[in-house]
């Protein structure tokens, strides 16, 4: 029986050419796998037919938008997933769901190898291949650009020579990856980190310099997941899409960052994630109201490690699964409403309410009705600072006290 390879297929030039390129280089039949995670563009049925016209023996097409939103974006929201405290893991989140469908197709069509279009210098090669071996250790992985010397010039020549139904003349100056959670842009003149992004870099967001009238939205959460906007029930996908529209119109979610890639190099990336940025800001504020202090402090450490694992392609790792369990437990009381104003590139929380809030007005107020017993504060401070006081006394005894300098006392 002829070997089969499942190829992560986008419908673009490189992956269209890769179908025949892989077949010629390996002798294997190619099954194209196209997964819709909200990237927009062409109809998936058109992409399916193109894959067959380019030589694929089978074409597997999946609408994974709801799956991606509910099972990947929502865990990221509950974890406030931000790599380097800024990047909401746009591309990193989509890779494991794509790989899940690649593995499913491999088993359905009897393939032994998974192929992807990544280069040898990026993070995605790691994400695709580690996720593949985590779900199906028996599968092998190849990357035509990295392993089979498929350059863009060769791709254009191959497409023209074989009369493939794909455009070969127009080339975007940027490398772009997008899905419902956001959009990532790199390469071209952006590789000079002094260069300012031009207007054509952006697509998901309008220029925040000249915003429309401020937009107020009330986001309702249940156990850390948005379930309504302005009182209208929404699915996770609908929540993201609507916040993309509303926050994007106000220029919210533009990120320009030099980040540390897993492969050891620094890379300049431009991200647009209006819905993700606004939803994370709202979720963080609701957690400020509902999480106990020590729980919240520890969760911040967990969030950082969670984001690093996902960025590094370890979505299916044991530690990531363990951290998911902790994060889910913290969301038990993260329910309530956040009022937010979207305007001029900012998503500003202006109100919060929750039946599970730990905020007690009578304890917090300085006015009539104050129930906080301030007389207990003095003793608390003495006990709280006792260990530091004893250490300071020892330092003084051995001549290691604080030097205040001459004439300062």
Residues forming the active site: 14, 95, 124, 175
Classify residue 216 by burial, with Cβ atoms within 10 Å: 0-12, 13-18, 19+. middle
Between CA 205 and CA 212, with CA 211 as vertex, the angle to 5 degrees is: 110
CA distance readout (Å), 62 to 66, 100, 153, 232, 287: 11, 11, 30, 28, 35
Q: How far apart are CA 245 and CA 208, in angstroms?
A: 14
User: Tell me, what DSSP letter sits at residue 76?
Assistant: H
Tokens matching residue 101: 């469908």
Residues that constitute the known binding site for L-citrulline: 87, 123, 127, 175, 259, 271
Q: How far is Cα 241 from Cα 263, in angstroms, rounded to an integer? A: 32
Rounded distance between C-alpha atoms, residue 199 and residue 232, angstroms = 34
Q: Based on the number of CB atoms within 10 Å of its own CB, is 207 exposed (0-12), middle (13-18) or buried (19 or more)? A: exposed
> Which parts are annotated binding residues for L-aspartate?
119, 123-124
- Phi first, then psi, for residue 198 (nearest 5°) are -90, 170
Of 125, 90, 68, which is closest to residue 310 (Cα–Cα)? 90
* 186 within 8 A of 124, measured Cβ to Cβ: no
CA angle, corner 294, sides to 356 and 316, nearest 5?
Answer: 90
User: What is the distance between the alpha carbons of residues 144 and 9, in angstroms, rounded to a whole number?
Assistant: 12
CA distance linking residue 317 with residue 313, whole number of Å: 9
Can you point out the beta strands (E) in 83-194? 113-115, 140-142, 175-179, 182-186
Annotation: binding site for ATP: 8-16, 117
3-state secondary structure of 238: helix
Name the token pair of 60: 């597997």
What is the 8-class DSSP label of residue 362? H
């Amino acid at each position: 029986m002829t070997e089969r390879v499942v190829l992560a297929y986008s419908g673009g030039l490189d992956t269209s050419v890769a179908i025949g390129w892989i077949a010629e280089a390996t002798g294997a039949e190619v099954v194209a796998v196209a997964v819709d995670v909200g990237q927009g563009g062409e109809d998936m049925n058109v992409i399916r037919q193109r894959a067959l016209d380019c030589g694929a023996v089978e074409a597997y097409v999946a609408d994974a938008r709801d799956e991606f939103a509910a099972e990947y974006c929502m865990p990221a929201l509950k974890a406030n997933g931000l790599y380097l405290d800024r990047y909401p893991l746009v591309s990193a989140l989509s890779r494991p769901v794509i790989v899940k469908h690649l593995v499913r197709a491999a088993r359905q069509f009897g393939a032994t190898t998974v192929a992807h279009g990544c280069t040898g210098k990026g993070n995605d090669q790691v994400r695709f291949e580690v996720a593949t071996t985590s779900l199906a250790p028996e599968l092998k992985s190849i990357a035509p650009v990295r392993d089979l010397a498929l350059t863009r010039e060769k791709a254009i020549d191959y497409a023209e020579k074989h009369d493939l139904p794909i455009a070969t003349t127009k080339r975007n100056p940027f490398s772009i990856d997008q899905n419902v959670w956001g959009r990532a842009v790199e390469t071209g003149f952006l590789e000079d980190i002094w260069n300012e992004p031009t207007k054509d870099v952006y697509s998901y967001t309008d220029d925040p310099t000249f915003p429309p009238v401020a937009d107020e939205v009330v986001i309702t959460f249940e156990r850390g997941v948005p379930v309504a906007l302005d009182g209208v029930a929404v699915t996770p996908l609908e929540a993201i899409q609507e916040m993309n529209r509303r926050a994007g119109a106000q220029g919210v979610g533009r990120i320009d960052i030099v980040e540390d890639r897993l492969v050891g190099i620094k890379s300049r990336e431009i991200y647009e994630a209006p819905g993700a940025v606004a939803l994370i800001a709202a979720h963080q504020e609701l957690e400020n109201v509902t999480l106990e202090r020590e729980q919240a402090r520890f969760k911040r450490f967990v969030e950082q490690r969670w984001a690093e694992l996902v960025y590094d392609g370890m979505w299916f790792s044991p530690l990531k699964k363990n951290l998911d369990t902790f994060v889910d437990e913290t969301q038990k009381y993260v329910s309530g409403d956040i009022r937010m104003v979207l305007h001029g590139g900012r998503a500003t929380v202006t109100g919060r309410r929750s039946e599970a809030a730990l905020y007690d007005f009578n304890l917090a107020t300085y006015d009539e009705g104050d129930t906080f017993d301030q007389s207990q504060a003095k003793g608390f401070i003495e006990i709280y600072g006792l260990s530091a006081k004893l250490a300071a006394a020892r330092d003084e005894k051995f001549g290691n006290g604080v030097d205040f300098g001459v004439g300062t006392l």
